[in-house]
Structure 1
């Protein structure tokens, strides 16, 4: 039982240490420039629209094929 209470007693110190280490690590991060952020955002948006268009077309084509097969067998 003393182990459990010892772990609980250390919890505030562990949380404090965690946030101190987090703050230190965040200072070491190399953040992208605003120009890089805009460029990569543009690439992501273009990819999203390209994949969206691709899946839209494939879904419509497969849907029409399935509908024709269904119509063929239900007549």
Structure 2
């Protein structure tokens, strides 16, 4: 599903097409919930393993904070 319309870019002087696309393909829309969950985060009961998601989120947060601290240390020392 594409919604296109002609718009005028004044700095170019040419008409251009603008496309509103949400990148939702027909295949992605027809996936079941189990197929849309990455295998790493699937629980044995067909749902999401929230403990693993939480652990990965916390680990990613720690890595970001450590990277910022290293950057600040290099910047000011």
TM-score normalised according to structure 2 size: 0.39
Which structure carries more helix by proportion?
Answer: 1
Larger Rg: 1
TM-score normalised according to structure 1 size: 0.40
| Higher RCO (C-alpha 8 Å, min separation 6) | 2
Which structure carries more strand by proportion?
Answer: 2
